[in-house]
Structure 1
Amino acid sequence: MKISIVILLTFLYSIVTCGLTNEQLLKTVKQSKRKLLPLNDENFENILNGKRDYHIIAFLTSESSQINCVLCREIAPEFEIIADSWFKDHPDGIETKEEGKKSQPKNIYFFKSEFTESKKLFSMLQLNNIPKIFYFNPTDSKAANNFIREKQEYQFFQGDHKSLMLNWIQDLTGQKINLHIPINQTKLVVHILVGFFTMFFIKRYRKYFFIALSSKITWSIISLIVVLLFTTGYMFNKIRGSPYLIEHPDGRTEYFLPGQQSQLGIETQIMSFLYGILSILVVVLIKRAPEIKNQSVNLVAVVVVSSLIFILFSLLLSIFGLKGIGFPYRFISFF
């Protein structure tokens, strides 16, 4: 949803003519449907420069297809949830009262800066990569561009970005933010439909369902899939919150990360597939190939299966070489 034209024009006019006070920002946020305000080359000097009686959290990002920032797209909805959550709990802001020199709680305002609209700001902050999240504390300083020295940067770590960002913001501002995660209506409807049709088919074909459920083959397949997934690092990915793959701005896609402490989601799937196929080929070679009575067919089957095992095992060794620097063993070098 977009901020209405009237609100946006009022907002831009006010920031051009003078720096925004807490009351002006609060009024703008209350009148807008989105609680994530725009920060760009037209308004950043009036918002970030000079005296501020409020906290600012700024998300510097890009939605441009040319830049193709995967992490930007991943962080954006998480950051917006935090911004919306703050204003759900504080729709009228925080009321402050003068009590001598005692520190008073202050409002928090969330901004989003798009690279294509904020090239001057990005240049002043000397950014070489995105996304970035900066905190600007309340200040009485009127020095020009003092915000550059005042900023504090959020460090991106593996894990639940929403929780990590929330803890960082709470520590800096001293304010408690209760998360209000919106219900995904589409996902809810899909889950209801899947549940309904699952129960329908179980009831309709319960005879076949219970036969499949009690089959040794069914449980063997399920067990093998689970063993392969957990052996190749499924829980590692879940705990670390690993991305599925990495797409670079130059169009290059990374499927494997070097080192034993880093892994992508797609690595788990590739390794599970390789181990699974190799296991099946070994079983076929040992159990099924000897049962072929025709010697010519038997020879062809053994050669084909053995060749596939050799090729796939060579691929496995090449992947080990990518993960472990100095790994010396190779058959066919794929990388």
Structure 2
Amino acid sequence: MRSVSLLLLTFICTIVQCALTNEQLLKTVQNSKHKLLTLNDENYESILKGPRDYHVVALLTSQSPQINCVLCHQITPELEIVADSWVKDHPKGIKIEQEEEEGESNKKIVAKNIYFFKSEFAESKKLFSLFELNTIPKIFHFKPTKAPGPKNFLHEKQEYQFFQGDHKSLMLNWVQDVTGQKINLYVPIDNTKLIIHAIIGFVSVFLLKRYRTYVGKALTSKLSWCIVSLITVLLFTTGYMFNQIRGSPYVLEHADGKTDYFAPGQQTQFGIETQIMSFLYGILSILVIILIKRAPEIKNDSISLILVSVVSLLIFVLFSLVLSIFGLKGMGFPYRFIRFF
């Protein structure tokens, strides 16, 4: 039995490394437990270099703790869900139909299969260097092609842009757009999360019942409502819902490795802008509360003077930073105190 399993595993690996046609890749996916196949320096040429009669969606990533790519760890399981959803929708693949238009000899491909791959940096250094990557993760789509060139895939790729939100849904929509295929999303039930949520719910109900007196005081406390209201106002003032509705990217990464944290113009922004501005407004709010609420309560005149001076200086510096950010987003904005940018 072990020898049969070993032969089967060897057969599958051989197909992956030598996969040139749709039929071979389809057989590989059907015999593989993981629908997100491996792409590395040993097999990328046989899969990517044309001609190809299928779509390829490739994730270039790294799970290495030395690289410590947080987004890589988040994206990989999300793309696995998308790959599994495609296979569940098309367990036998798509029958590639061909139509021949009257008066034309060229055949038009109506539908083609999609295959999902993951390329690990440690196993694909040559492939990564071909793309001249400065940042990861990257997701590329390679359309079906008849180009015979050995490196034609370098010029045919379409890159996925990472946005804030539900990654699997965003990637699914992108895959549907670039391939023209309809995919239903199948999200597996996470039993671990289900158990954790059940435990949290039970513990919460138990604590609420046991300490209902303290909970009642917290719910009727002016300080509690002040903190919750302040956080809510800051989040919505700085564009949290704007990011959720528009699906704003977190940052903008350029090909040369440069990263933009602030989007130009007043009609758009990046996700990190919300965090930066919320932090600045939050600190400014706390400083103003200290200045008008706590400082007058200090009886020692010297300590009160020092506190007022320090707090006023911090407000001046932070507000100057806010004005500089406004000037960075709107080039005609004329007001400045300290020029940070």
CA deviation map 1:242-272 (0-9, x unaligned): 688999xxxxxx9964756345154145224
Matches within 5 A, 1:32-181: 32-96=32-96, 101=107, 103-149=109-155, 151-160=156-165, 161-181=167-187
Q: Using a 3 Å threshold, how does the CA distance of structure 1 residues 217 and 97 change in structure 2: closer, same or farther?
A: closer
Secondary structure of 1:156's aligned partner = coil
Match of 2:337 in 1: 329
Q: Using a 3 Å threshold, how does the CA distance of structure 1 residues 92 and 222 change in structure 2: closer, same or farther?
A: same
**196-205 or 210-219: bigger deviation:** 210-219
Residue identity over aligned pairs, in percent, reads 52
Which amino acid counterpart does residue 198 of structure 2 have in structure 1?
I
TM-score, reference length from structure 2: 0.76
Deviation (angstroms), 1:29? 1.3
Match of 1:250 in 2: none
Secondary structure of 2:109's aligned partner = coil
Which amino acid counterpart does residue 281 of structure 1 have in structure 2?
I
Match of 1:317 among 310, 315, 320: 320
Deviation (angstroms), 1:156? 0.7
Report the Cα distance in structure 2 between the residues aligned to 1:94 and 1:144, rounded to whole angstroms: 27
Match of 1:276 in 2: 285
Which amino acid counterpart does residue 222 of structure 1 have in structure 2?
V
Match of 2:14 in 1: 13
CA deviation map 1:164-221 (0-9, x unaligned): 3322321332210111122333333232222222222222333443344334443333
**40-49 or 120-129: bigger deviation:** 120-129
Secondary structure of 2:37's aligned partner = strand
Report the Cα distance in structure 1 between the residues aligned to 2:228 and 2:135, rounded to whole angstroms: 43
Match of 1:24 in 2: 24
Secondary structure of 1:194's aligned partner = helix
Report the Cα distance in structure 2 between the residues aligned to 1:328 and 1:28, rounded to whole angstroms: 62
Number of aligned residue pairs: give it: 318
Matches within 5 A, 1:129-278: 129-149=135-155, 151-160=156-165, 161-239=167-245, 257=262, 261-262=269-270, 264=272, 266-278=275-287
Which amino acid counterpart does residue 64 of structure 1 have in structure 2?
S
Coordinate RMSD, CA, aligned: 3.7
Secondary structure of 1:169's aligned partner = helix
TM-score, reference length from structure 1: 0.77
Q: Using a 3 Å threshold, how does the CA distance of structure 1 residues 143 and 283 change in structure 2: closer, same or farther?
A: closer
Deviation (angstroms), 1:34? 1.0
Consecutive unaligned residues in structure 2, runs of 5 or more = 101-106, 254-258, 329-333
Which amino acid counterpart does residue 13 of structure 1 have in structure 2?
T
Consecutive unaligned residues in structure 1, runs of 5 or more = 248-253
Q: Using a 3 Å threshold, how does the CA distance of structure 1 residues 10 and 152 change in structure 2: closer, same or farther?
A: same
